[in-house]
């Protein structure tokens, strides 16, 4: 049996708006606006799902959980992550590690990073030390710098047993 190592990158961005709860990494963040989207619009989990699916050659989050499907309306994105993990496992693919970056001018996210890491590691069935989340600003530049939205990047390493 041979192991194949693959890297994936994911990106997501959503606009901030009123009348929504802000959820990142499955954590409710106290803020006067939330992210707009069909599901709960958790950009962090969406970027991680896309990175995992890309590394595995299994498409993307839009194909797996389309916004045209009412079953995904206001859906908790942690459910997406668990389904993606199960899909990978069904293809003998194991998540090795996750490194993700949130890009937001506001709110300050540092107090919530530990809880995000705990949620993500639980959903991926990974040791917490193998899941890293960081937050940064764009120093006032672009849509994230103007606090119009939040973006996330994720890089993952997966291993597939083949043969």
pLDDT tens across the length of the chain (163 residues): 688 999 999 999 999 999 899 999 999 999 999 999 999 999 999 999 999 999 999 999 999 998 898 898 889 999 999 999 999 999 999 999 999 999 999 999 999 999 999 999 999 999 999 999 999 999 999 999 999 999 999 999 999 988 6
Q: Which sign, positive or negative, has the C-alpha torsion 2, 92, 62, 138?
A: negative
Q: Where are the beta strands (DSSP E) in 36-121?
A: 93-103
Note the pLDDT of residue 1: 64
CA 18/CA 48 separation, integer angstroms? 25
Strands 22-24, 149-162: pairing is unpaired
Contact 102, 44 (CB under 8 A): yes
Residue range(s) defining the domain that contains residue 66: 2-162
- Burial of 132 (C-beta count, 10 Å sphere; 0-12/13-18/19+): middle
Q: Does the model's pTM come out above 0.85?
A: yes
Angle at 156 between CA 13 and CA 71, to 5 degrees: 50
> Between the CA of residue 119 and those of 30, 76, 132, 140, 141, what are the distances in Å?
17, 12, 11, 29, 30
Note the pLDDT of residue 85: 98
Note the pLDDT of residue 7: 98
Per the structure, the count of domains in the chain is 1
Note the pLDDT of residue 162: 82
Token pair 């041979």 is at which residue? 2
Which CATH number belongs to the domain containing residue 46 in this structure?
Answer: 3.30.1330.50
């Amino acid at each position: 049996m041979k192991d194949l190592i693959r890297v994936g990158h994911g990106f997501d961005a959503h606009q901030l708006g009123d009348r929504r709860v802000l959820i990142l990494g499955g954590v409710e963040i106290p803020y006067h606006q939330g992210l707009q989207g069909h599901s709960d619009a958790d950009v962090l989990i969406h970027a991680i799902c896309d990175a995992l699916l890309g590394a595995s050659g299994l498409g993307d989050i839009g194909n797996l959980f389309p916004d045209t499907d009412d079953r995904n309306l206001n859906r908790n994105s942690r459910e997406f992550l668990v389904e993606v993990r199960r899909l990978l496992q069904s293809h003998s693919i194991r998540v090795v590690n996750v490194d993700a970056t949130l890009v937001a001018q506001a709110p300050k996210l540092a107090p919530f990073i530990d809880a995000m890491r705990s949620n993500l590691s639980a959903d991926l069935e990974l040791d917490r030390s193998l899941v890293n989340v960081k937050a940064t600003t764009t120093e006032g530049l672009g849509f994230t710098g103007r606090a119009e939205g939040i973006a996330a990047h994720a890089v993952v390493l997966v291993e597939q047993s083949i043969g």
